[in-house]
A = this chain, B = another copy of it.
Amino acid sequence: MNDWNAYARSYGERARAAARQLALAESDAKDHWLEVAAERLRDATGSILEANARDVAAAPGLGLNAAAIDRLTLTPPRIEGMARGLEEIADLPDPVGEVIEGYFRPNGLEVQRVRVPLGVVFFIYESRPNVTADAAAICVKSGNAVILRGGKEALHSNVAIHQTLADALAECDLPPEAVQLVDTPDRDAVGAFLKQQEFIDLTIPRGGRSLIERVAAEATMPVIKHFDGVCHVFVDRTADLGMAEEILINSKAQRPGVCNAAECLLVHAAIAQPFLKQLEPALQKAGVQVRGDARIREALPWATAATEHDYRTEYLDLILSARVVDNLDEAVAHIETFGSHHTDAIVTSDIGEAEKFVAAVDSAAVMVNASTRFNDGGELGLGAEIGISTDKFHARGPCGLRELTSYKYVVRGSGQVR
């Protein structure tokens, strides 16, 4: 099959029709589906594991390494986790229909801004098959139809999970086309979907930089993008050094491979030497390599020299760039020059310095005396997260149910004219 445009368009048309119905569905109906789908996933454990075994068997041939094969592999507890995830989303409040604001105009018109679904979401993701259930749940709960495009290495698993979710939609009298799965591994198909602006309202690519860049370049509809997380911890002159140590180690080393892990330490010159000496054993215990400027290497002679390139790098590893700064302005300038506007923290006891940092640092999340690792949908209380936006338009930071919505003005009058 080569007519990918017709293929993508047919998905889009079905999704649009389903989205119209779903936008009108009661909260109870959507939550009922989430609960039924959770049960059906549990019931289907055997057949899902069977499909997964086929993917896992083929994985080495596709060049997947051990870590990737682990992410691909489903087990009964992982399937139970998927089911619980659906039940947790059922418990979240429905964003659709929320009156965001309401007021009367002098002429008596009552104006409301009411939250509505965006419509149709095209979601592109990679190897973990549990994302299939998670993304479908977030989209449907927020009243959106979704077209799922998983990695080819997980196709059998995704087909099995998707079938369960779609059957549960039918069982609950909701349109099964509200959740569709792209059933070809062909990469050209993606390009055709990215041209369906008539039928797709938003594309969310979750994966590496090259995927996101390709999608941003080709998409004709809005895209929620997630680029680098070059996150900083700035230890101010008045910082509680014990707190600063804990926050820095947690930000860097608790899970170094994620986007909200710290990549760079900035230390105020006034406390740099004692702080770095105090920090040294914890860094070594956590196995963190340091690349620093001259003043950093004075305190930590085992550190190597940092280049400009280091300051721009998201290591996603136990490596930390570090720099001594003479004041807060220099810290802010470093963050604005080398950072990626993702998550940046200050550790300080001075409320004035804290407020200056909060105002001046233009990042999706600015932390005061807390780990960068808290920039996460779950930790910030969003409940569920379909991605993290490094854009400023529409949604910034973690994207949950609310970020998959738009609004409309509802104006009620009694015959008003202009």
Contacts and interface: CB of A to CB of B under 8 A. Distances in A.
B408 A363 contact: yes
Interface in A374-418: 374-375, 379-381, 391-394, 396-397, 406-418
Interface stretch (A124-132, A171-179, A180-188, A243-251): A243-251
B373 A410 contact: no
Nearest to A409: B365
Contacts of A83: none
A111 interface: yes
A375 B418 CA distance: 11
A229 to B, nearest CB: 14
B24 A367 contact: no
B364 A409 contact: yes
Nearest to A366: B410
A37 interface: no
B410 A254 contact: no
Contact of A370 (B375, B392, B415): B415
Nearest to A116: B362
13 contacts: A109-B379, A118-B392, A202-B393, A222-B391, A222-B393, A240-B415, A354-B412, A364-B408, A364-B409, A365-B408, A366-B409, A370-B416, A374-B418
B392 A396 contact: no
B374 A411 contact: yes
A360 B418 CA distance: 26
Nearest to A407: B396
Contacts of A24: 359-360
A340 interface: no
A103 interface: yes
A277 to B, nearest CB: 20
Nearest to A222: B393
Q: List the number of copies, as a whole number.
A: 2
A375 B111 contact: no
B365 A418 contact: no
Interface string A338-371: 0000000000000000100011101111111111
A183 B250 CA distance: 52
A393 to B, nearest CB: 4
Interface residues of A, number: 61
A226 B283 CA distance: 54
A250 B413 CA distance: 14
A119 interface: yes
A365 B411 contact: yes
Contacts of A416: 369-371, 374
Contacts of A309: none
Interface string A74-117: 00000000000000000000000000000101000101000010
A280 interface: no
A198 interface: no
Contacts of A222: 222, 391, 393-394
Contacts of A202: 393
B254 A392 contact: no
A247 B396 contact: no
Given A116-B362, A358-B410, A412-B369, A381 B417 contact: no
A23 interface: yes
A367 B110 CA distance: 10
Nearest to A370: B413
A145 to B, nearest CB: 13
A119 B381 CA distance: 27
A266 to B, nearest CB: 18
B105 A380 contact: yes
Interface string A4-21: 000000000000000010
Given A381-B111, A393-B202, A408-B365, A415 B246 contact: yes
